Amino acid sequence: MPCHFLSRHRGHCLGILFGIATLGLATARCGAEAPAAAADPNDMSGHLSLDEARRLALARNWDLLAAKSDVDIAFAQRLIAREVPNPTLSLSTAKISVDHHPNSTVMGNGLWERSYDTIAAITQLLEIGGKRGSRQVSATAGWRTAKARLADACRLLDQGIAGAYVAALQAGENARILRESAASLRQEARIAAIRFKAGEIAESDQKQIEIAADRLELDAQSADAAAAAARINVEVLLGARHPEGQWIATDTLESLARTPVPHDRSAPAFPRPDVAEAEAAKAKADADLKLQRAYRVPDPTLQFQYERNPADLPNTIGFGFSLPLPLWNHNRGAIEAAKAAAEQAHVQLEKARSQAEADIINARIAYDEAATRLDRYAKEIRPRARAITETISFAYQKGGASLVDLLSAQRNDNEVRLATAQAQADTATAAAGVIAVMNLHAFQADLP
């Protein structure tokens, strides 16, 4: 609202200023913890923690920036809804002679004294029946919907970046495990070479161990490639212009698997943004229905005019009004469409609430299963597999175990270590899922 209208529209101006302030809070909340400007924001080399990755993603992610623009557009629509229709000015001049009849009058033959019929009129449309109020409520609800959608995008991005980061860690851990297993088999191959020279084993035993080591090294190279691709995926979520996957993770699967999550399945302290979005969408649909019903009441247009027509009554004024007659069109089609949209919004709201509750339960089930599986691997299966491998390896070196036993034990230990890493990754991802579905990071739209 222009500043010179402040005295006449103080409430509107204050409302707009408050809206701008809350919009700033809404967009800043998603990126509130964005790091200070780096020397090169596109340089992703160096060390990167999950918390820092989250902050960078909330500040730079392409989809999130687009969602912030949607909020700006919705806020502009809110400003439009507050505006009053402008008056219309019309000017016309008639009765200008085009033949030999003069337009002069007893007042003279000057331009202002001639018998021209000049009319200046101002018309103003008046909205009645609560249309303007319903339109403002609808626009405000649309703004709240956009802000809630932005907050939900922040929530899902936070979960997505955690999953991508964990995937990069798991791929790197798999590569490390495979390289260690290959190195262990290389050591066994060296011992087998000594035993072969001593005539204790056949050459085929040594070759089989070397082949097994070669396969593990190739698998490690594949895991390295997968890790690089996973790191690049993280950089894409971070909004890097030239992703190369050169960063080094500072977190570990083990530490992320210990991420604390609440033990109950109660509703979160803050409502989920997707539920808030559905609530705002329902409020907008209700306001739109009320607006369409209000359109059944015709809006009058008031007119004030000044007319100059020398010489009898050279200066006159007039008043009038006009309005459409609702004889044939009662806006029934638009009303029925708005009614259907309102019913649909109500169903979507109930679905969003139900889905939020189901998400919490499913996320807790997934976390409990992953955490239990990890606990068994870490405390029972992994120590036993390591002990068996060490025992058989020692026995093979002394001639007390066969090559088949050695390779089988080595393969089983390798699979157990990979499964333990998988359980750690699943637990960390499930923990991030619980945090997201319960909105524990509280990505709010700061709705007034």
How is the chain split among helix, strand and coil, in percent rounded to 5?
65, 10, 25
Rounded to whole angstroms, the Cα distance separating 423 from 376 reads: 10
Tokens standing for residue 312:
């009898």
Contact present, 367 and 431 (Cβ < 8 Å): yes
Q: Residue 9: is its pLDDT beyond 80?
A: no
Token code pair at residue 180: 């260690």
CA separation for the pair 14, 25 (Å, rounded): 17
Mean pLDDT of 124-129: 92
For the ranges 55-59, 119-123, 204-208, the lowest mean pLDDT is seen at 204-208
% of residues, the chain, pLDDT over 90: 54
Contact indicator for 60, 238 with CB cutoff of 8 Å: yes
Helical pair 50-60 and 62-82, crossing angle rounded to 10 deg: 40
Smallest Cα–Cα separation from 68: which of 142, 160, 153, 139?
A: 153
Q: Amino acid identity, residue 142? A: G
Domain boundaries, the chain: 31-85+127-296+331-437
pLDDT-based confidence at residue 269 (cuts at 50, 70, 90): low
| 32-36, 80-84, 153-157, 361-365: the lowest-pLDDT one | 32-36
Pick the closest to residue 392 from 403, 380, 379, 401 (CA basis). Answer: 401
Q: What is the pLDDT of residues 280-321, one digit of tens each?
A: 999 999 999 999 999 999 999 999 999 998 888 889 999 999
Q: Are strands 88-94 and 301-309 parallel, antiparallel or unpaired?
A: unpaired
From 138-152, 261-275, 297-311, 324-338, the region with the lowest mean pLDDT: 261-275
CA separation (Å) from 294 to 213, 220, 267, 343, 353?
A: 79, 69, 39, 19, 31
d(CA 64, CA 73): 14
Could you read off the pLDDT of 416-441 as tens digits, one per residue?
A: 999 999 999 999 999 999 999 988 87
In this predicted structure, what is the pLDDT of residue 43? 55
Q: Which architecture, in CATH terms, is 31-85+127-296+331-437?
A: Up-down Bundle (1.20)
Question: Would you say 249 and 124 are in contact if contact means Cβ atoms under 8 Å apart?
Answer: no
pLDDT per residue over 370-422, tens digit each?
999 999 999 999 999 999 988 988 887 777 777 788 888 888 888 999 999 99
Q: Quick one: how far is CA 127 from the chain centroid? A: 37
User: In terms of C-beta density within 10 A (0-12 exposed, 13-18 middle, 19 or more buried), how is residue 430 classed?
Assistant: buried
Q: What per-residue confidence (pLDDT) applies to 314?
A: 87
- A 10 A CB-CB count for 64 gives 21
What's the pLDDT score for residue 115? 86
Q: What is the pLDDT of residues 100-114, one digit of tens each?
A: 888 888 788 888 888
